[in-house]
Amino acid sequence: MSATPRRRRTRLVLSQIALAALALVAIVAATAFLLLVGGYSVRDGLVALWSGSLGSWYAITSATLVRAVPLLCTGVAVAIAFRAGVFNIGAEGQLLVGAAAATAVSLATPLVAWSGGVTIILALAAAAVAGGLWAGVAAVLRARFGVLEVISTIMLNFVAVHFVSYLVRGPVQEPTHAYPQSATIAESLHLPRLPGAGRLHAGLLLAIAITAVSGWVVRRTAAGFRLMAVGENPDAAASAGQIDVGRTTTRAFLASGALAGLAGGIELLGVTFALYENLSPGYGFTAIAVALLAGLDPWRVLPTAVLFGALEAGAGAMQRDAGIPSTLVTVIEAALILAAVTVQALRLGRRPNPGRASIAAEP
């Protein structure tokens, strides 16, 4: 590598670190401002936000990183779909369907002394397949009937929510029928806890591996090039690149759904251990913010997922310890999304040929 590319890469890394530091300062400032306007104690709010998210090893591992795991998988899922010009807004529904499939496999598979690991793999595979099939419904509607995936995936989110509600009040409800949830899965099917990390489970390692592989595929493979080319300009990709646009977008849609469904399986086996209503506090929707703030780059999803995981954990601590509504943090998250979209629009506006088919950022 020559000196010039090395300097450029160093400047890029330093600029990204500077932007991250600026984002953290902006979050603190925005939080303080909203607390002041709302009439709350700025000191108490910021202390609770810090202590609940990054203030201790337990807060980092058992709160922030536990919440970051599903955001990693769903954030990568959204990034891949958006990169291909597919606006998959249905990660929430795909996550719930994946959790339901993992529950069915976990409860239906007979357990013997050696079968725990096999059942975990089957449950996670079922979650990914279910999420992919759920996304496939919207993919078929898009390909065959021209239905906008924004509309179909939003509608499918509602279907998934009510489907889970039906399951936990009917076919998979726990034996006593006292609570709207499934029976608790066997302890041998729980994802292993990471040593010395509290509630943090092995799903974090799987999520990091998914993020790393997805980023490599997008950046370094022909399939990733086709995906980005279709997202940037499908007409040019079809005419100049001889790329099958329909097949590429469908594959991206299915892969996105599978990753979101896998997030549901990981959440079930690693955190909740049972299927119930409101299993997800909106991970699939927050994933859109995670992906946008990461510039639709799977590798950059890792720090943004941790950031939003910290905000979610801190919001709970603010409400619990300081009596401050957690929705205040939601306002900050929305502001981050608007800032990311604005920066992206300004970047696209400076380019000589702004006629682009997606909001995807350069890797």
- Residue 80: pLDDT band by 50, 70, 90 thresholds? very high
Does some domain include residue 16? no
Query: What is the span of the domain harbouring residue 123?
Result: 41-350
- d(Cα 48, Cα 143) in Å, to the nearest integer? 48
Q: pLDDT tens for residues 246-256?
A: 999 999 999 99
Does some domain include residue 24? no
Does some domain include residue 96? yes
Does some domain include residue 20? no
Asked if residue 81 has pLDDT above 70, the reply is yes
- Residue 267: pLDDT band by 50, 70, 90 thresholds? very high
| Sequence-separated contacts (24+) of 309-312 with Cβ below 8 Å | 309/53, 309/63, 309/64, 309/65, 309/66, 309/67, 309/68, 309/71, 310/53, 310/54, 310/64, 310/68, 311/27, 311/53, 312/67, 312/281, 312/286
Does some domain include residue 21? no
Asked if residue 227 has pLDDT above 50, the reply is yes
> Looking at the 3D structure of the chain, how many domains does it have?
1
Min mean pLDDT across 9-13, 84-88, 121-125 is at: 9-13
Does some domain include residue 51? yes
pLDDT reported for residue 13: 64
* Average pLDDT value over all residues in the chain: 87
pLDDT reported for residue 7: 76
Mean pLDDT of 113-130: 88
Across 118-122, 174-178, 257-261, 304-308, the highest mean pLDDT is recorded for: 257-261
CATH label of the domain that carries residue 294 = 1.10.3470
pLDDT reported for residue 249: 94
Does some domain include residue 329? yes
Asked if residue 3 has pLDDT above 60, the reply is no
Min mean pLDDT across 274-288, 332-346, 348-362 is at: 348-362
Buried b (16+ CB within 10 A) or exposed e, 39-78: ebeeeebbbbbbbbbbbeeebbbbbbbbbbbbbbbbbbbb
Min mean pLDDT across 19-28, 95-104, 113-122, 267-276 is at: 19-28
Rounded to two decimals, what is the model's pTM? 0.88
Does some domain include residue 1? no
